[in-house]
Structure 1
Amino acid sequence: MKKKLIKNTSEHFDTLFHNKPQHIFLSPGRINIIGEHIDYNDGFVLPAAINKYVCIAISPNEDSKCKIVAKDLNEIFEFDLNDALVPNSDMWINYILGVLQQFKEKKSLDKGFNAVFSSTVPIGAGLSSSAAVECGFAYALNKMNNFNLTKEEIALIGQKSEHTFVGVNCGIMDQFASVFGKKNKVIKLDCTTLEYEYHNADFKKYSLLLLDSNVKHTHLTSGYNVRRQEVEQGLTVLKNHFPEVKTFRNCTEEMVNSVKQELGETIYKRSHFVVKEIQRVQDAVNALKASDFKKLGSLMTETHYGLSKEYEVSCDEIDFLVDSVSKEKTVLGARMMGGGFGGCSINLVEKGSENKLIESISKQYKTAFGIDLKAYKIKISKGTTEYKN
């Protein structure tokens, strides 16, 4: 799959530009085992890079002209680096223009480039195809221009691109996981300090399976930004009552419960979820260390019901998938993954049971919603890198 992606992207570049690309970069999508919607709430998350990639074939130019080809969309965008870069109505190019704008501000970026990119990261599945594009291009520009930026700086460039040119106030997790991923390791990331530690992702006789609902409801961006405003309101109330509280990390469930009336039903639910989810990540790390996969699975399922009932970012289709697999003996846990309102569920299942499970759930899902289910068996891989023959 990876070799085919590299070959097809490289050959497309050769066809369009009559030359082989000077560089090829691979930037992975990501999963998150647990810790959803708390990367912007000063929490901890537990992501990992996966073996689905954005591949970028690229060569520098001698002038300031740029031509970027989105192979999968069959679209081309051309511009001059000397011109003012502004968000475009074609959303896909904004992820890249936002990255370029920051390089222009931070560094002397005068050489243009030709690039073709293609992807095996499913779009809209909650696997952060956007972060893979942002970080892939940031990594490529850094390498080609010998800017010597750190991995952390590259991840932050990707995040800021999404804030400024895409208009989504995302946390740092997606970009960090894409850049810092290691084979067979999950990353426990402190989203406040960006301190991180790797933990073995050896699931023994279990594996991770993604079930793609094949739906993406349109209120993701608006819903996401509204959730951020709601939890900020909740934190303000908590700080007023408890001077020692600086972030949700300092909050306890008891504190949230004690101001429930003042918070109001909606803000209470949001705040309660965040405090519980921050603790669940710590518990999940301990479960992984102890190879207690039953506990890990139950924490994942708890997270889903928190996301669905308290944070209210799930949808009927994803709830159906989680409820359905939860009845299967071969499944230890399942939850919605990503921003929400569609996308994938992540499932901890017995190795060898995947095909039967996919077949059973696909039929149930098709009957309930008339939608074909997609499934991805994934492996945990290394982060963004330059591909060398």
Structure 2
Amino acid sequence: MKKKLIQYTTKNFEKLFQKKPEYIFLSPGRINIIGEHVDYNDGFVLPAAINKYICFAISENENSECVLVAKDLNEAYSFNIKDQLQPVEKMWVNYIIGVLHQLKEKGLPEKGFTIVFSSTIPMGAGLSSSAALECGMAYAMNKMFHLKLSKEEIARIGQKAEHTFAGVNCGIMDQFASVFGKKNKVIKLDCTTLAYEYHKADFKEYQLVLFDSCVKHTHLTSGYNDRRNEVEQGLAIIKANYPEVTSFRNCTEKMVLSLKNTLSEIIFNRCLFVVQEIERVPLAIKALSNGNINQLGELMTKTHYGLSELYEVSCPEMDFLVTEALGEAEVVGARMMGGGFGGCTINVVKKETTDNVIQKLTKAYKIKYNIDLKAYKIKIAKGTSTYGI
């Protein structure tokens, strides 16, 4: 799959520009094993890069003209790197020029370049294709023009591009996982300090499968903002009753339970989910380290029910996919992944039964919602990298 993507992107570059690209770069999408909605609550997350990529074929130009070709969209955009860069109508362009805008401020040589890119990361499935595009671009410019940026700087540049040019106030997890990913490793990441550790992720006789619900409900932005406000209100009340609490990280489930009659039902539920999810992350790391995939699956399943019933960011389609998956004996864990209200579920399935489980869920989902389910078998892969031509 990776080689096919590289060949496809390279051939299209050669066809369009009658020359071979000077560089090939790969930038992956990401998953999050566990640690959902705790990145903004001072918790840890457990992301990993996956073997779905954006491939960039690039050459320098002799002048300051830049040409961007999004092969999958059959769209192109040209500009002069010396011009002032501002957001444009085409969103995919903004992810790229948002990166270039920052690099120009850091002294990027005003040299032109030509890029053709293509992707195997499903769009809109919550696998962070935008972070892969931003970080792949920053990584490519860093290599081509010898900018000496650290991996952390590349991740931060990607995040800032999303904030300033795409208008999405995202956290850093997606960009960090895309850049720092390692094969068969998950990253325990503190999104506040960016302290991180690698932990082995050997799923043995199990396969990670993503089921793309192909729905995205409109509550995502409003729901996300509401949850942030609700947990902030809850934390303020917890701190007033327990002065030793500085954040959700040193708040316990016992403390939240003691305030059940003080907090409103909604605020109580939101806070209970957050403290439980923060506690699940180290348990998941321990399960992975011990090769106890069944226990990891149980923790992931608990996360889903917390997201659905306490945090209320799921939706009927996601709940259906999780319930159906868990009805199969070969599935040891399933949950919704990402911001919520649609996107993908992540499932841990016995390898030899994966195709059978995919077939069953595809049929059930079609009958229930008349939607063609998309399934992706994934592996944990290395982060943004150069590919030798």
* TM over 0.5, shorter chain: yes
- Aligned residues between the structures: 389
3-state DSSP class of the match of 1:59? strand
Partner residue, 2:238: 238
3-state DSSP class of the match of 1:122? coil
Distance 1:42 1:22 in 2: 42
- CA pair 19-53 structure 1, distance change in 2 beyond 3 A: same
Partner residue, 1:213: 213
Partner residue, 2:310: 310
Distance 2:265 2:78 in 1: 49
- CA pair 151-241 structure 1, distance change in 2 beyond 3 A: same
Partner residue, 1:122: 122
Distance 1:359 1:328 in 2: 12
Q: Is the 8 A contact 2:14 2:20 kept in 1?
A: yes
Q: Which amino acid aligns with 1:278?
A: I
- Please identify, of 252-261 and 291-300, the stretch whose mean Cα deviation from structure 2 is larger: 252-261
Distance 2:303 2:216 in 1: 20
3-state DSSP class of the match of 1:52? strand
Q: Is the 8 A contact 1:99 1:138 kept in 2?
A: yes
Distance 1:243 1:158 in 2: 37
Once the two structures are TM-superposed, the CA of residue 263 in structure 1 deviates from its matched residue by 4.0
- Please identify, of 153-162 and 258-267, the stretch whose mean Cα deviation from structure 2 is larger: 258-267
Q: Is the 8 A contact 1:28 1:52 kept in 2?
A: yes
Structure 1 stretches (4+) deviating beyond 6 angstroms?
none
Distance 1:175 1:25 in 2: 16
Once the two structures are TM-superposed, the CA of residue 11 in structure 1 deviates from its matched residue by 1.5
Partner residue, 1:67: 67
Distance 1:236 1:263 in 2: 11
Q: Deviations over 1:183-239 (max 9, x none)?
A: 111111122221211111111221211111122223323333333333333333333
- CA pair 108-3 structure 1, distance change in 2 beyond 3 A: closer
Partner residue, 1:278: 278
Q: Deviations over 1:100-125 (max 9, x none)?
A: 12212233442222111110000111
User: Does 1:182 pair with 2:197?
Assistant: no
Partner residue, 1:269: 269
Q: Which amino acid aligns with 1:373?
A: L
User: Does 1:22 pair with 2:3?
Assistant: no
Distance 2:316 2:301 in 1: 16
- Please identify, of 163-172 and 363-372, the stretch whose mean Cα deviation from structure 2 is larger: 163-172
Partner residue, 1:2: 2
Q: Deviations over 1:24-77 (max 9, x none)?
A: 100011111111121222211111111110001112223332221111111112
Q: Is the 8 A contact 2:108 2:147 kept in 1?
A: no
Q: Is the 8 A contact 2:201 2:289 kept in 1?
A: no
Q: Deviations over 1:245-297 (max 9, x none)?
A: 22221211233334445543333322221111111111101111122222111
- CA pair 237-92 structure 1, distance change in 2 beyond 3 A: farther
- CA pair 230-78 structure 1, distance change in 2 beyond 3 A: farther
Q: Is the 8 A contact 1:40 1:170 kept in 2?
A: no
Distance 1:163 1:44 in 2: 22
- Please identify, of 163-172 and 345-354, the stretch whose mean Cα deviation from structure 2 is larger: 163-172
Partner residue, 1:132: 132
Partner residue, 1:223: 223
Distance 2:223 2:378 in 1: 28
Q: Equivalences for 1:1-389 in 2 at 5 Å?
A: 1-389=1-389
Distance 1:263 1:81 in 2: 54
Once the two structures are TM-superposed, the CA of residue 83 in structure 1 deviates from its matched residue by 2.6
TM-score using structure 1 length? 0.95
3-state DSSP class of the match of 1:100? helix
Q: Is the 8 A contact 1:38 1:277 kept in 2?
A: yes
Once the two structures are TM-superposed, the CA of residue 99 in structure 1 deviates from its matched residue by 1.2
Q: Is the 8 A contact 1:169 1:225 kept in 2?
A: no
Distance 1:261 1:168 in 2: 36
Q: Is the 8 A contact 1:49 1:181 kept in 2?
A: yes
- CA pair 161-266 structure 1, distance change in 2 beyond 3 A: farther
RMSD: 1.7
Once the two structures are TM-superposed, the CA of residue 242 in structure 1 deviates from its matched residue by 3.0
3-state DSSP class of the match of 2:41? coil
Q: Is the 8 A contact 1:9 1:117 kept in 2?
A: yes
Distance 2:344 2:321 in 1: 9
3-state DSSP class of the match of 1:86? coil
- CA pair 41-105 structure 1, distance change in 2 beyond 3 A: farther
Distance 2:203 2:31 in 1: 15
Q: Which amino acid aligns with 1:385?
A: S
- Please identify, of 254-263 and 73-82, the stretch whose mean Cα deviation from structure 2 is larger: 254-263
3-state DSSP class of the match of 1:40? helix
Identity %: 66
- Please identify, of 214-223 and 149-158, the stretch whose mean Cα deviation from structure 2 is larger: 214-223
Gaps of 5+ in 2: none
